[in-house]
A = this chain, B = another copy of it.
Amino acid sequence: MKAAYYKEEEIKKVLNEKLAFSLAKKVFWLISQKKTAMPPKIYLNLPRLSKGAPGDFRAMPAYIGGMGNGVCGIKWVSVFPSNPRLNLPTVIATILLNSKKTGALLAIFEGNHITAMRTGAAAAVATHTLANPKPHKLSIIGAGFQAEYQLHAMTNLYAFDEIGVWGFVKGESRRFCERLSGEHLSLRPYEDIKSCVLSADIIVTCTPSRRPLLKKE
């Protein structure tokens, strides 16, 4: 039996912020009930192995009990930071879903939208649980692919008076705000990270930076 194959477009039709939020919330609860398992991921570090290979892969198997009959499978995801130069996404993910009764492969998902939605939803669940329940200003540090998902995940929860955006590359935050201002009128680009986070109730960081961009003062 050939497994079902779900393309990105089909997944986008059904997986929205509301569904991602409720699923992420449920799964966090199941984790606290010890009904899930996610062994430490394995890295396949290509740059160490092969000259000229600019990225690596991660294998992430998981089991979720307590949802229907239980769900198991794996995400196999690559991170190639130089991909945007080739007009390809940095992160490319494939998700396999299997029967927990026989091991048979049930479905294959193109996993980029799911990955981005899940990341946004995880931040939204944490924020909803921990943050001030009536926030006025959201600040987003980073104006790339994931920033848009974070924006949607947060505006699904709250009506902000202002959403400040700061990007590492000059002009990036302005382009981000112009592109998305039709949906989110309160978007405001900042060229200076300090003013961006000033008086923010919630700060979302989504940059791949390995050095601190924000400092407590």
Q: A102 near B88 (CB under 8 angstroms)?
A: yes
Q: B80 near A102 (CB under 8 angstroms)?
A: yes
Nearest CB of chain B from residue A88's CB, rounded to whole Å: 5
Kindly identify, within residues 26 to 56 of chain A, every residue whose CB is under 8 Å from any CB belonging to chain B.
Answer: 37, 39-46, 49-50, 52-55
Cβ-closest chain B residue relative to A80: B103
Residues of A in contact, count (CB < 8 Å)? 47
**Interface residues of A, Cβ cutoff 8 Å to B:** 2-3, 5, 7, 37, 39-46, 49-50, 52-55, 57, 59, 61-63, 65, 70, 72, 74, 76, 78-80, 83, 86, 88, 92, 94, 96, 98, 100-105, 108, 110
Cβ-closest chain B residue relative to A39: B42
Nearest CB of chain B from residue A166's CB, rounded to whole Å: 28
Cβ-closest chain B residue relative to A41: B42
Q: A50 near B100 (CB under 8 angstroms)?
A: yes
